[in-house]
Structure 1
Amino acid sequence: MYSFDSRVRYSEVDSKGYIKMNSILDYFQDCSSFQAEEVEVGLDYMAEKHMAWVLTCWQVEFKRCPSFGEKITVSTWPYDFKGFFGYRNYTLKGEGEELLACANSVWVLLDLESGKPVRVLQEMADAYEFCPRLPMEHTSRKVALPKEMEAKEPFPVHKYHIDTNQHVNNGKYICMAQEYLPQGFQTGKMKAEYRKAAVYGDMIYPYARQEAGKITVSLADEQGSPYAVIELEERK
């Protein structure tokens, strides 16, 4: 397991002073990146191998959103590698070990030159110490699209959406999806499925559907083929 301590920063909170959902996801992504650097299979190693870990899906449970200035601990660990895939958990805890949020994620290892999945190298797997999988609900990796969805105003992918893999960062899709949440909606669970990569200059065509206690957002191309599908369930 890899962990680091932090405090909720002003730049990470919403208009009411609570940490934003996408800020929690950024902490999770940063934590796994830090762990990769710690065990020497980080950005430079991956660049030399012409490989990248690409998130295919994750599900996140938000127990309580900490407020500005609260002390937090972010942790992550892999619990399995199978073929092309890596499986990883995350937790966000407050003082006294209070569980604030947790996540399960599935990643695929890509060869950046061919664009195809490759089997996890043994030396990569050996670099990590596995920990048991979190006892959280593990649902399907797919997010079902409702039959009828409302089309929203299209917008372009901007430079600030792009990460070192030269495509839209996972967390940025969540920022996009949050735009379609009604006022006062507090997310208790989130599922995201990433189907293909959007790059700088692409246009995003959003579609949304609100049902009882749940909102589904498809961020698609001009033909309606999704880059990402996000399901947001209201906290009960």
Structure 2
Amino acid sequence: MQTAIYSNTYKLNFTQCYANGQLKYSELSNLLQLCASDHAELLGFGYREMAKNSQSWVLSRVRIEIASLPRFMQTITIKTWVQDFLGNRSIRNFEVYLAEKKIIGATSFWAVFNVQERKSENLAVKIDPSIILPEKAATANSFRRIELDQTLDQYINYVPKLSDLDIVNHVNNVKYTDWCLDSLPANIVLNETFKTIDINYLKELTLGQAIKIMQHIDADTINFSITRENKPVLDQAEFLGSIK
């Protein structure tokens, strides 16, 4: 019998945490991605099954709402389910629990990607409609298209390296979070907990493609944009929180 809601537990190790003991934001994204992958495998549309048709899932948009971050040596439970599916795209939700307390919710938008043609197409395998839970949300607000109304006034240059790539041979979505947060002063990341994170992914990046990581810091908001040849790749990753 297929399980509509999948859960797994993870004990946080020292490589996953910042110097303050809290789980890294990129590692949070990585754990959500791994949990989603495990569930998809059980449901019959994971990496191995999709690879038979030269297909893979790629992340397009995500919103994460954070009450608190777990810490080193704590054990968390992640629950995930599919909220919507239509042809070439899917909405997948997540909840993160510490003991019985929900501390993080996330909603994400995924597209089916042909790894040979490098374009979106309909999923080649069938999905059991009983595993779709359209009424079950995980966040107060859904993912959204980010529109920036101010100039990004600081930037750094970067060239993707081999360690940034995943099995689909492009930069994994987790890496964008690392790049953006690494461009900030360490005290901002270590001393504050971002309450919401919204990210739009527009185009894939591959090895050696030079990019510019731009940012703007306000009293309670940090905006990022990653561009290649003056065209957005990460169409403004917006990290909202109490940053002073």
TM (norm. structure 1) is: 0.92
Distance 2:159 2:149 in 1: 24
Matched residue, 1:204: 211
1:177 match: 180
In the aligned structure 2, how far is the partner of 1:40 from the partner of 1:109? 14
Q: Give 2:169's aligned amino acid.
A: Q
Which deviations, in whole Å up to 9, do the C-alpha atoms of 1:156-199 show, x marking residues without a partner? 10111101111110111011111233423321110000010111
How many residues were matched structurally?
A: 233
The aligned residue for residue 136 of structure 1 is: 139
Once the two structures are TM-superposed, the CA of residue 13 in structure 1 deviates from its matched residue by: 0.7
Offset at residue 105 of structure 1 (A) = 0.4
Counterpart position of 1:120: 123
1:8, distance to aligned residue in structure 2 (A): 1.2
Which residue pairs with 2:70 in the alignment?
66
CA contact 1:192–1:231 (8 Å) conserved in 2: yes
- Alignment root-mean-square deviation, CA: 1.8
Match status 1:227 vs 2:227: no
Deviation of residue 143 (structure 1)?
Answer: 1.4
Please give the per-residue CA displacement for 1:48-107, whole angstroms capped at 9, x wherever unaligned: 111111111000011111111111101111011123210000111111x21121100001
Partner Cα distance (1:93, 1:185) in 2: 20
Structure 1's consecutive aligned runs of 4 or more residues displaced over 4 angstroms after TM superposition are none
2:25 equivalent to 1:21: yes
User: What's 1:93 paired with?
Assistant: 97
Deviations 1:86-139 (A, max 9, x none): 0000111111x211211000011122233332223461x228712343152334
Distance 1:199 1:98 in 2: 39
Q: Could you tell me which of 12, 15, 36 is aligned with 1:32?
A: 36
Q: TM-score, normalised by structure 2?
A: 0.89
Q: Letter of the aligned partner of 2:232 in structure 1?
A: P
Instruction: Kindly state the Cα deviation for residue 140 of structure 1 after the two structures are TM-superposed.
Output: 5.4
Identity %: 23
Write the distance in 2 (CA, Å) between the matches of 1:151 and 1:66: 31
Conserved in 2, the CA contact under 8 Å of 1:55 and 1:194?
yes
1:190 aligns with 2:193: no
